[in-house]
């Protein structure tokens, strides 16, 4: 099956990066190189592009798609959490732009054996990087009821997390829960019929929670955003696309702290901590997909783009 993914907020990301022909750009979630191919097309002879992804299928697809750009492109199979080390090995100290698209690709959702979708019957998996040991199967069948409750409540924000966790544990005592369809069935009967008829698929939140747990998505994001801001050269830009409130909250808070890192009490007349702003978010609010894009690609509906611009060496942030 060919790797494909409809790049969300493509024009907005390219505008946000303000690509310089001789700049260095990094895509930490390369996928099928939707954003990356446009960035590469805007680079001159001295420009450079580094693509990072942990999915072998994405690496293969992006290598083929970006082959025509030759030596200006470097593709590395890794997690964006290792971006600093990847760039260090390439002898790159500073970059002009970084992109993160935190969504699950259309290929991953629509390929049954990847086990990401609650709509397709498949073995429970959900690993972005199939080299890792932990999969959704281990989480569902080995985590305690208390741990499952916490994950589904915190990462899925599901108010029926207690019922779902209890029923998962009860069912797995009979036999292991090995498929997406079996798990989806358990989740469905854990939620009152009245609620099931009101919104989207009843398993959506739990599947999101399991995927986040399996891939440590929120931990990786929170730990590494500040490092990415520090990788930017003066005027460099970090563009992050999120797809649910937990991710967006992390990005918003990290950007806010980077813009105003001062720890002095509010009533201090002059800053005494010496912590200077790294830059600012532009615009102040997240950028949302246009109506036309949401109609064309329903998976774009929950997307939000936030952009952080690194200040110049002598620039004073108002």
Q: CA 78, CA 280: separation in Å to the nearest integer? A: 28
Bridge partners, residue 25, by sequence: 49, 97
161 and 302 belong to one structural domain: no
207 and 249 belong to one structural domain: no
Could you tell me if residue 188 is inside a domain? yes
Helix (H) or strand (E) holding 218: helix 217-231
Q: What is the CATH number of the domain that holds 254?
A: 3.40.50.150
Could you tell me if residue 46 is inside a domain? yes
Could you tell me if residue 280 is inside a domain? yes
Could you tell me if residue 86 is inside a domain? yes
What residues make up the domain containing 98? 10-107+217-310
98/129: higher pLDDT: 98
Helix (H) or strand (E) holding 76: strand 73-77
pLDDT in tens, 222-276: 999 999 999 999 999 999 999 999 999 999 999 999 999 888 888 887 888 888 8
3-state secondary structure of 301: coil
- Number of compact structural domains in the chain: 2
Q: Report pTM.
A: 0.89
Query: Above 90 in pLDDT, residue 287?
Result: yes
82 and 226 belong to one structural domain: yes
Could you tell me if residue 112 is inside a domain? no
The proportion of the chain whose per-residue pLDDT surpasses 90, expressed as a percent, equals 74
Q: What is the CATH number of the domain that holds 194?
A: 1.10.150.170
């Amino acid at each position: 099956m060919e790797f494909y993914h409809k790049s969300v907020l493509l024009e907005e990301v390219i505008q946000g990066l303000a690509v310089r022909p001789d700049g260095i750009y990094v895509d930490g979630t390369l996928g099928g190189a939707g954003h990356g191919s446009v960035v590469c097309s805007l680079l001159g002879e001295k420009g450079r592009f580094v693509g990072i992804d942990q999915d072998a299928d994405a690496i293969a697809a992006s290598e083929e798609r970006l082959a025509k750009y030759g030596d200006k492109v470097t593709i590395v199979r890794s997690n964006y959490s290792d971006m600093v080390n990847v760039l260090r090995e390439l002898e790159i100290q500073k970059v002009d732009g970084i992109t993160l698209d935190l969504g699950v690709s259309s290929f991953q959702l629509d390929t049954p054996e990847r086990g990401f979708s609650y709509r397709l019957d498949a073995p429970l998996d959900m690993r972005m990087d199939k080299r890792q040991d932990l999969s959704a199967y281990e989480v569902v069948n080995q985590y305690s009821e208390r741990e499952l409750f916490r994950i589904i409540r915190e990462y899925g924000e599901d108010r029926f997390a207690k019922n779902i966790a209890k029923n998962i544990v009860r069912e797995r005592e009979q036999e292991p829960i090995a498929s997406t369809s079996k798990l989806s069935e358990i989740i469905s009967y854990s939620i009152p019929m009245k609620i099931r008829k009101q919104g989207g698929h009843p398993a959506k939140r739990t599947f999101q929670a399991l995927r986040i747990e399996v891939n440590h998505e929120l931990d990786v994001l929170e730990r590494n955003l500040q490092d990415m801001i520090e990788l930017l050269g003066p005027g460099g830009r970090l563009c992050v696309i999120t797809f649910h409130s937990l991710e967006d909250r992390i990005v918003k808070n990290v950007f806010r702290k980077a813009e105003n890192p001062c720890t002095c009490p509010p009533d201090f007349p002059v800053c005494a901590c010496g912590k200077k702003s790294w830059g600012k978010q532009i615009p102040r609010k997240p950028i949302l997909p246009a109506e036309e894009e949401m109609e064309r690609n329903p998976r774009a509906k929950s997307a939000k783009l936030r952009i952080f611009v690194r200040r110049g060496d002598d620039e004073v942030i108002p």
